[in-house]
Amino acid sequence: MKDFLYLLIFNTIIAIFLTVIGFGGDFEINLIFSQCIGISTFLCIKTTLYIKKTTAIVPQLLMITIAMTIGVILGTILGSTVNGIDPLFFFNEKTGMFLQVILIGIMFGSIVTYIFISREMLSNANAAMLEEKMKGIAGEKRVIETNLRLLQNQIEPHFLFNTLSNIMSLIDTDPEKAKSMMEDFIHFLRASLTKTRDQRITLGEEIEIIRSYLNIFKVRMGDRLRYKITVPDILLQHKISPLLIQPLVENAIKHGLEQKIDGGEILIRGEDKGDTMHIEVADTGYGFNGYDTHCGFGLDNIRKRLNLLYNEKGRLILMENQPSGLKAIIEIPYETDKGDYRRR
Helix (H, G, I), strand (E, B) or coil at 267: strand
CA–CA dist 135, 140 (Å, integer)? 9
User: In the chain, what are the helix, strand and coil shares in percent, each to the nearest 5?
Assistant: 70, 10, 20
Task: Rank 98-107, 130-139, 255-264, 299-308 by mean pLDDT and report only the highest.
Answer: 255-264
Q: Which of 49-53, 86-90, 236-240, 265-269 has the highest mean pLDDT?
A: 265-269
**Of the candidates 257, 280, 272, the residue with the CA atom closest to the CA atom of residue 328:** 280
Share of the chain above pLDDT 70, in %: 69
**What CA–CA distance (Å, rounded) separates 69 from 183?**
84
pLDDT in tens, 303-321: 887 887 777 788 899 999 8
Mean pLDDT in the chain?
A: 76
Position 344 scores a pLDDT of 32
Identify the pLDDT of residue 64.
Answer: 74
Residue type, 282: A
Report pLDDT digits (tens) over 279-303. 999 999 888 775 554 455 568 778 8
- 320 in Cβ contact with 327 (< 8 Å): yes
Vertex 295: Cα angle to 293 and 301 (nearest 5): 105
Q: Give all domains of the chain, ordered by start, each with its CATH number.
A: 2-133 (no CATH), 155-333 (3.30.565.10)
Q: What are phi and psi of 9, to 5 degrees?
A: -65, -45
Average the pLDDT over each of 33-37, 220-224, 291-295 and give the range with the smallest value.
291-295
Task: Measure the CA–CA gap between 161 and 232, rounded to whole angstroms.
Answer: 35
Helix (H, G, I), strand (E, B) or coil at 238: coil
Of 19-28, 92-101, 190-199, the poorest mean pLDDT is in 92-101
What is the phi/psi pair of residue 105, to 5°?
-65, -40
pTM above 0.85, yes or no: no
Q: 290: which residues sit within 8 A by CB, 6+ positions away?
A: 255, 256, 259, 326
Return the higher-pLDDT residue of 211 and 130: 211
Least Cα distance to 89 among 39, 73, 97 occurs for 97
pLDDT at 10: 75
* DSSP conformation letters of 183-200: HHHHHHHHHHHHHTTSS-
Tens-digit pLDDT profile for residues 90-105: 655 555 666 666 676 6
Provide the pLDDT confidence category of residue 71 given band limits of 50, 70 and 90: confident
CA 82 to chain centre: 55
CA separation for the pair 295, 282 (Å, rounded): 16
Q: What is the dihedral of CA 246, 251, 253, 257, to 10 degrees?
A: -150
